[in-house]
Amino acid sequence: MQEAELHDLSDDADYAASQQEGSASMMRCYSSKLSTSSETEGAEIVYLKDNVAIHPTQYASERISGRLKLIKQGSTLFMTWIHYKGQSMNAKLSEKDRNLYTIRAVPFADVRSIRRHTPALGWQYIIVVLSSGLALPPLYFYNGGVREFLTTIKQHVFLVRSVEDTNVFLLNDFQNPLQRTLSSLELPRAVSIPSMPSTPVLARESTSHENQERTDVGVSDVSASIPQYNGRRRQKFHDPARDISIQVLEKFSFVTKFARETTSQLFRESHSNGFRPLERRKSNQSDVYSHKPSDDAEGVAVQSPVEFDKLSLVWGKPRQPPLGLEEWATFLDSEGRVVDSKALRKRIFYGGIEHKLRKEVWAILLGYHTYESTYAERKHQRSIKKIEYETIKSQWQSISPAQAKRFTKFRERKGLIEKDVVRTDKSLSFYDGDDNPNVNLLRDILLTYSFYNFDLGYCQGMSDLLSPILFVMEDESESFWCFVALMECLGPNFNRDQSGLHSQLFALSKLVELLDNPLHNYFKQNDCLNYFFCFRWMLIQFKRELEYEKTMRLWEVLWTHYLSEHIHLYVSVAILKRYRGKIIGEQMDFDTLLRFINELSGRIDLDATLRDAEALCICAGEKGADCIPPGTPPSLPVDNGLLYSQQDEVL
């Protein structure tokens, strides 16, 4: 195949997984199980393939090529991938950088599934999903060999093809293959695999019923869900690499110690170079400071790894009352255009918006209307977009029962949405009660969005993001388009490989290292550098951490993109700093920390946190900005066709 400079990965469902620098290095903990030397006593190479590559970026010229091996030692089969020494086409990556991708001796007892991809444009590749739900970077076979790879595995371990997806191969599936397919996997309890090395893996209760009750996961409270976990039936999922990852992160206290250790290893070993910005901007101000904690904050002052210029010390300004109707009018000209968008965004950043004004201003903040649009233009756009919305909505409304029987994706998404919306914000009168029309609107908007963005579809957590928008807009079409605008920024949070969430958690770890080195060192010593305890914060923007009104106030502050489009990361740092004394003083391990963070729900002082976040953002300066990888959500997307990794493939 003629190799193009830019390899189009837009139709590769998991291309983004290969962009997570260092993601394969988590497997180094396996290195003690088997030497990488082919001369290891009792080891036999049963498969060897050259020119198998990992793509750190979408550019084919920057691939890292290497050698893939299957090695049999005793009764155990291992997989290794080692890059070629001194032959990298990627001048941007050093030898040390490329070493981060090395896969050393992964035993197939710890592999859950292998998905084979054959894109219309490009090379065949595979995704190996571990029992913990974590996925290795895609391995691209430039010279073929996927069939032989799978055939060899089948000769040595129990491997079956999924009955629902012919490109998915299940390993160590000792139950009825017809009942246990890749699409039915969910976060399970840990068990040992019979006739295999005693490595803990994840298994789940099987089911053949399509409409059985699904466990409330994704953004549910971990501590609250623990007693109910083993006693409830589960719904099938068709995206294990996405859905298992969501559940592994959210219900992390169930995951084996191995999964936590290997993922922590990923963050430890990628800190030196992981997610580096493409360009480093030169700082023209001092980057380092000592942050005096708020009066009610616990802990001691920050001891930053670098000294901050005292002249750069800027504390968060007092919060202001919300923007009201009269003041709003001063920002508009006679035809309704926003005269000074920066001044408006600054005003909202410091005070938020009165509720009766939110409907008008949120549409602008979210980008549904532009700052330059007039009253007349906004009215015209609403009428045009309403027609467009109804057209999209009619696509799923016109599906007959007979067609639905043959449309698995539609049935599953509809079922998931219907189960989620009836649980969304039931404590709010706006959504309370049986057959609530607003709940029906939530369902209709989410179903329509799943057709509007079919690649992304529907994922748990989206109903939480839509709920406040519908509550404010009170119009189906306008709520839909505002939700579309929000998902343009937050959509990567729901990628199958969780690349959007991983990039945010990585950036958070770097910011804590910069702004609170003692806390960073504590997390490092206690294997908490993956920051998975902050997963829910990132996924739904603190929706479950604050009261409903405070959630709306925070969101409109974040949407201003004033100071930074990633102010939510500084909010996270501010919360962690505030409770640093308690975290360290009580010697919290990962499980205790996860419970503690979840128990903060409803107890966060939003105004104080925003003041601290502002101070942290300003004083971190360019050094803080450099900690955040380009494109990290909620960055505005680049329209290059690579916004989302596909969530469901039409087979």
pLDDT digits (tens, 9 = 90+) for 78-113: 999 998 876 555 556 677 667 777 888 889 988 888
Computed over every residue of the chain, the mean pLDDT equals 74
Q: Which of the pair, 74 or 261, is modelled with greater confidence?
A: 74
- Long-range CB contacts for residues 335-341, cutoff 8 Å, separation at least 24: 335/374, 335/375, 335/376, 336/373, 336/374, 336/375, 336/376, 336/378, 337/371, 337/372, 337/373, 337/374, 338/364, 338/371, 338/372, 341/371
Burial label for 485, CB within 10 Å (0-12, 13-18, 19+), is buried
pLDDT digits (tens, 9 = 90+) for 143-166: 888 989 998 998 888 888 877 778
> Is the predicted pLDDT of residue 571 greater than 70, yes or no?
yes
pLDDT of residue 138: 87
Mean pLDDT of all residues in 231-255: 39
Whole-Å CA distances, 496 to 36, 249, 447, 476: 31, 13, 19, 28
> Is the predicted pLDDT of residue 67 greater than 50, yes or no?
yes
> Is the predicted pLDDT of residue 68 greater than 60, yes or no?
yes
pLDDT of residue 15: 37
How would residue 537 be classed by pLDDT, with cut points 50, 70 and 90? very high
Torsion of Cα atoms, 390 then 396 then 397 then 402, to 10°: 160
Q: Which of 631, 511, 485 is nearest to 571 (CA)?
A: 511
pLDDT of residue 158: 84
Percentage above 70 pLDDT, the chain: 66
How many Å apart are CA 113 and CA 128, to the nearest integer? 6
Whole-Å CA distances, 130 to 203, 245, 335, 420: 12, 11, 58, 28
> Is the predicted pLDDT of residue 137 greater than 70, yes or no?
yes
Q: Which of 160, 116, 171, 164 is nearest to 141 (CA)?
A: 116
Q: Which of the pair, 624 or 230, is modelled with greater confidence?
A: 624
Mean pLDDT of all residues in 233-259: 39
Token pair for residue 352?
């938020």
Q: Which of the pair, 645 or 153, is modelled with greater confidence?
A: 153
Whole-Å CA distances, 276 to 71, 98, 120: 34, 14, 31
pLDDT of residue 636: 63
Mean pLDDT of all residues in 371-394: 97
Torsion of Cα atoms, 332 then 337 then 341 then 347, to 10°: 30
Query: Any residues with CB less than 8 A from the CB of 251 and at least 6 apart, and which?
Result: 187, 217, 222, 225, 229
Query: Any residues with CB less than 8 A from the CB of 275 and at least 6 apart, and which?
Result: 20, 21, 503, 506, 507, 629, 632
Token pair for residue 66?
């290497």
Report the largest interatomic distance among the alpha carbons of the chain, rounded to a whole angstrom.
Answer: 83
Token pair for residue 624?
């803080």
Percentage above 90 pLDDT, the chain: 47
* Residue 137, helix vs strand vs coil: coil
Query: Any residues with CB less than 8 A from the CB of 461 and at least 6 apart, and which?
Result: 218, 219, 246, 493, 494, 539, 540
pLDDT of residue 496: 73
The b/e string for 259-269 (b: 16+ C-beta within 10 A; e otherwise) is bbebbbbbbbb
259-273, 299-313, 376-390, 631-645: lowest mean pLDDT where?
Answer: 299-313
Q: Which of 68, 72, 94, 105 is nearest to 83 (CA)?
A: 68
368-372, 507-511, 564-568, 632-636: lowest mean pLDDT where?
Answer: 632-636
> Is the predicted pLDDT of residue 134 greater than 90, yes or no?
no
Helices 567-578 + 499-515 axis angle, to 10: 50
> Is the predicted pLDDT of residue 261 greater than 90, yes or no?
no
CB 151 within 8 A of CB 212: no
CB 536 within 8 A of CB 219: yes
pLDDT of residue 495: 82
Whole-Å CA distances, 522 to 304, 505, 593: 14, 17, 12
pLDDT of residue 278: 35
pLDDT of residue 578: 94
How would residue 631 be classed by pLDDT, with cut points 50, 70 and 90? confident
Q: Which of the pair, 119 or 7, is modelled with greater confidence?
A: 119
Cα 493 from chain centre: 4
pLDDT of residue 86: 67
* Residue 59, helix vs strand vs coil: strand
How many Å apart are CA 458 and CA 456, to the nearest integer? 6
pLDDT digits (tens, 9 = 90+) for 188-210: 222 222 333 333 333 333 333 33
